[in-house]
Chains A and B, each alone.
Chain A
Amino acid sequence: MANEKNFSVCYSDKLKRLPPYLFGAIDILKKAAYDKKLDVIDLGMGNPDLSTPKHIIERLCDTLGNHPRSHRYPQAKGMPKFRKTVAQWCKNRFDIELDPENEVLALIGSKEGIAHLCMAYLDSGDIALAPNPAYPVHFNGILLAGGTVYDLPLLPENNYLPDLGKIPEEIAIKAKLMFLNYPNNPTTAVVDNLDFFKEVVSFAKKYNIIVCHDNAYSELCFDDYNAPSFLQVPGAKEIGIEFFSFSKTYNMAGWRLGFVVGNAEILRPLEKLKSYLDYGVFTAIQLAGVCALKDSQECVKETVKIYQKRRDIMVKGLNKLGWQVKNPKATMYLWVALPEKYKHLSSLQFAELLIEKTGIAVAPGAGFGTYGDAYVRIALITHNNRFHDALLRLKKFLK
């Protein structure tokens, strides 16, 4: 070609604002370890290892084979049957009333819903409040929409709840969105009652802030704990919405199905934005979701039992090794401060050292935000027997 200079590709400022992907460093080491044929125990990713319950799969097969109409474009906001079932499930589970027509929206997983909600509300420079540490989409969604993240530190002394009183008034006045997530990823914190959510509702009403509560782990609760919905608080639906996912509850991470419920006016622009970006969820998958929510919830109990057993093994084992860890009431993670001996390291350095020395992959806390840097997240996601292996390796490592 006559033109000698190289065609240059320049990424947008939005893309350049994204923080470096810290888990990438672990992925590289993990791959190197696999390539060396090392026996890697991967406790890094929050990717459920269990299978989707059979009856849900059968429902999908039946729809695919017998209802060819389901092969065509879905209804973007979710088919009426899906939305009605969601409303009914929320009624049964949390005793909250939802209008299936306007207060429920189907999502291709809660992740896209959260990210697109930011795009629907945030202009360049708008402030959104996000916990730190957090599931990365809570802050990256804000950044991709051009917004500015204001950190809500989650500190152990506050039981990993944000201290709303510490938010400066001028920030509260400017803020448009606030993200929350309990049971929390990565800290595993829960709300013991509705007090904190009540505080959130009055704060949000006072400052006209939309509350987005991510309740992806609502069904993974242990012992006698039962996670509430944010919408159970009187007045919450005036200012808030809540995201749910099938990924953890029904081991359907791969299926990409979730939903958001709550204030109809808050949901409307999300639905509108999405109508320009996607065509919604495959109808056959929506119907499988209907089956998941409607049929017996025994499968959920089974899943919880398995995670609880793994939690018990790991928490007991780690404490025995002198690596102090609290017993989480929910989620499928452990959030652990770096062991005394390694406190001088960053969470990334520690995670790198750990995989090199033991073949155990964990998620460095810094990947979830600056306030996570003294921690690592251990996912309870591998076969039960492997946890004993992991503990043996850790015993050697911590000596």
Chain B
Amino acid sequence: MLQKETKEKLNFSYARRLEQLPGYLFVEIDRKKKELIKQGVDIINLGIGDPDQPTFPHIVEAMKKALGNSQYHHYPMGTGLEQFRQVSACWYKERFGVEINFAKEIYTLIGSKEGIGHFPLAFINPGDVVLIPEPAYPVYTSSTIFAGGTPYYLPLLEKNNFLPDFSSIPQAIREKAKLLFLNYPNNPTAAVADKRFFEEVVRFADKNEIIVVHDAAYSEIYFEEEKPLSFLEVEGAKEVGVEFHSLSKTYNMTGWRIGFVVGNEKLIKGLSRIKDNLDSGVFDCIQVAGMSALEESQEAVEKIRQLYKRRRDVLVEGLIDLGWQVKMPQATFYVWTKVPDGSSSAQCATKLLEEAGIICTPGKGFGPSGEGYVRFALTVEEDRLKQSLDRISKVSF
């Protein structure tokens, strides 16, 4: 008989998809940080991209008001309130000049992370290749692995302005590839993409029948006259792809968990069939708050941009004064910089943590091509950034 002894400790083996995951780097940094805080060290956390400013008051008020309507207490529709989708489509039209059919080309998300995390489940079979940039936000890899896909990494190199080089992808990989992740403005490199690049992406995707998933979570955090583009602005993009948006960074709503995906109807439909079986959508009251965010004056967003811009200037200019090689980022609230002394990114991060009480993110955590870089998040007040510079100046590199 195969049955086990009841007395022995029961053994619950995990699914393989969990064992194939690389370590989650932010958890490690958090653990070290906690240790130092316990020791009473004054830590400046430039590690996690969590906006430090509160959600704009009119959004909070919209939520409070919505709570008074008991209709909104019931199960939401998975796809999202019709009004939320309409407002999102209007915002899209106004911001990017792209027409979106709110009935079929938008789906409301519990934050863009879960949308990206679940998207490959709808399209990827075991053995399918997924093209993933690196360094990158770790969720592209984990979602690929969860669906049984095989990641093929596209290095983002400084010499290519942190854009992937499609011509370097072998023919055999192109044939097996089913999906391509992209993210501009980019986390962690802070790079932006131009129209020519997106046109190339559409040609590449169309020729090789590859679904394009563009993560545009940072589209509204920009500092130049020329605003970041939507992938869908390019002709033919909607035939091959979708774009994920988040309200987290734009409106300081990271905790609220709301985002949306727009684009190709069949792709949206696939994701919706997965999600209908996984969750029940976003609390209607939060959607109403999201509508207020997208619909009302965008003045507060402009103020947020100014705030990050001032912080960016302080940090980047300060680092340059200290001899670091940093480019002025045009978008995102990250500064991606080469390690000053040519040591590894982990050595640099550890040094900054131990000698200066500063948390940054070692670039290698985002992928092998991130080696030699660290990422600073501009999510602390200006005076704390000045203090950071002061502390860094005392670290001997």
Contacts and interface: CB of A to CB of B under 8 A. Distances in A.
A196 interface: no
Interface string B74-104: 1110000000000000000000000000000
Contacts of B273: 11, 15, 18
Q: Which of A21, A71, A247 has the most CB of B within 10 A?
A: A71
Nearest to A68: B54
B279 A112 contact: yes
A15 B271 CA distance: 9
A205 interface: yes
A64 B267 CA distance: 35
Nearest to B7: A205
A341 interface: no
Interface stretch (A91-99, A121-129, A159-167, A330-338): A121-129
Given A272-B18, A276-B21, A253 B270 contact: no
Contact of B283 (A71, A73, A112, A285): A285
Given A111-B278, A124-B126, A144-B278, A70 B74 contact: no
A47 B75 contact: yes
Interface string B205-222: 111010100000000000
A15 B148 CA distance: 13
Interface string A139-169: 0110011100000000000000000000001
Nearest to B11: A208
B211 A277 contact: no
Contacts of B73: 51-52, 251-255
A393 to B, nearest CB: 24
Nearest to A61: B64
A71 B123 CA distance: 33
A50 B73 CA distance: 8
A3 B240 CA distance: 13
B2 interface: yes
Contact of A275 (B27, B54, B278, B283): B27
Interface string A11-28: 111110010010000000
Contacts, number: 214
Interface residues of B, number: 85
B277 A254 contact: no
A45 interface: yes
Contacts of A277: 113-114, 117-118, 139, 142-143, 146
A112 B121 contact: no
Interface residues of A, number: 83
B125 interface: yes
Contacts of B257: 108, 278-279, 281-282
B280 interface: yes
Nearest to A288: B67
Contacts of B60: 64-65
Nearest to B252: A71
A276 B206 contact: no
B280 A119 contact: no
B284 interface: yes
A366 B370 CA distance: 53
B63 A64 contact: yes
Given A136-B277, A251-B73, 5 more contacts: A12-B124, A109-B280, A205-B10, A255-B283, A276-B139
18 contacts: A1-B206, A3-B206, A11-B273, A12-B124, A21-B276, A49-B74, A64-B60, A73-B48, A109-B279, A111-B279, A111-B280, A119-B15, A253-B73, A255-B73, A256-B283, A275-B27, A276-B143, A277-B139
A-B CB proximity, top 5 nearest: A68-B54, A51-B70, A276-B142, A277-B117, A9-B266
